[in-house]
Structures are given as structure tokens and as C-alpha cells.
């Protein structure tokens, strides 16, 4: 019994010493980023057009949308993409509530084929959307005192 206790204490001590030695190792593996190549990333602002990204609004049969809902819209979107020879993996978002359509990353040929499709209502470039913080918050602007500004009336 005493030997088991002594043996476990020795193992624990060896384990702790090894952990301290590894943890206190002074090898630093810091990469110097000053030598790294600088990457020029454009800073997009709200309202800027996103290159190659488009929102495609479809014009499906309203009666079918009413009766079959989302299933019909998905099927309709698939038919439009197939007719235009556009792969489904370019679709980035799907819309089926306020409007029926999708957003996608398209090249010029794909864009032109979709524009020529009679089932497409319209296509517009996708844009950056920015949400402003509410007025009176630390990052929001000051609240004005205009009572007729169309907001909810809480001016501060």
C-alpha cells in the first residue's frame, strides 16, 4: 500500500516537473510580419457594388407560389438556372418571402443568359448593406429634436 502511494507521488512529481520544463521553454516562434507581403484589400462602404455578385428576382406564377409556397419557388429557381446553364453552386442566398429570387456570383456570360430568360423579372448588382447603430448609443449619432422626422417619436 505504502509503495503504491510512494509510486504515485513520484509519477506525479515527474509529471509536474516535465510540465514546468516544457511550459517554461524559452523558444519563441513569432513570425515577423514586417517582412510579409502586404495584401491590398479594398475597404467597402455601405452602398458599394460587390463585383460579380447579383440579385436575381424571378417572376413565378403567383397562383403556384400561393398554393405550393417555398417548394415551388425552389423548383422554379432550379428551372431558371438550368435553362440558363448556370450551376446551382453559384447561388449564395435564396429569397422566397418578400420576393422570389436569389443572389449569386456570376460571370458575364451567365449574367447575360439570365437577363435573356423571360422568367427573370430583373437583375441588379448586389451591394454592401450597413446598419447604423441607434442614435444616442455610444457609436450612434446624436438624436435630433425633430418631431416630424418619420421615426417612432423617441428623439432622445
What digits encode the pLDDT tens for the residues 122-133? 999 999 988 877
3-state secondary structure (DSSP) of residue 156: coil
Architecture of domain 49-127: 2-Layer Sandwich (3.30)
Domain spans of the chain? 49-127
pTM of the model: 0.59
Compute the mean pLDDT over every residue in the chain, rounded to the nearest whole number: 80
Nearest one of 70, 71, 102, 72 to 89, comparing CA atoms? 102
Question: How far is Cα 90 from Cα 87, in angstroms, rounded to an integer?
Answer: 6
- DSSP β-bridge partners for residue 120: 58
Question: How far is Cα 95 from Cα 77, in angstroms, rounded to an integer?
Answer: 10
Beta strands (DSSP E) in the chain are: 49-58, 91-96, 100-105, 120-127
What digits encode the pLDDT tens for the residues 50-99? 999 999 999 988 888 888 888 888 999 999 999 999 999 999 999 988 88
Nearest one of 155, 95, 96 to 126, comparing CA atoms? 95
Question: How far is Cα 42 from Cα 67, in angstroms, rounded to an integer?
Answer: 45
Amino acid at each position: 500500500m505504502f509503495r503504491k502511494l510512494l509510486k504515485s507521488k513520484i509519477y506525479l512529481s515527474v509529471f509536474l516537473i516535465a510540465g514546468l520544463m516544457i511550459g517554461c521553454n524559452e523558444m519563441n516562434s513569432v513570425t515577423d510580419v514586417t517582412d510579409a507581403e502586404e495584401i491590398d484589400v479594398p475597404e467597402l462602404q455601405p452602398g458599394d457594388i460587390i463585383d460579380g455578385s447579383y440579385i436575381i428576382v424571378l417572376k413565378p406564377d403567383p397562383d403556384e407560389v400561393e398554393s405550393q409556397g417555398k417548394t415551388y419557388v425552389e423548383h422554379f429557381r432550379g428551372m431558371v438556372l438550368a435553362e440558363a446553364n448556370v450551376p446551382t453552386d453559384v447561388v449564395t442566398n435564396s429569397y422566397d418571402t418578400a420576393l422570389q429570387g436569389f443572389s449569386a456570383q456570376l460571370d458575364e456570360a451567365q449574367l447575360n443568359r439570365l437577363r435573356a430568360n423571360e422568367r427573370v423579372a430583373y437583375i441588379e448588382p448586389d451591394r454592401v448593406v450597413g446598419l447604423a447603430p441607434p442614435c444616442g448609443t455610444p457609436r450612434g449619432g446624436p438624436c435630433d429634436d425633430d418631431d416630424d422626422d418619420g421615426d417612432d417619436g423617441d428623439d432622445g
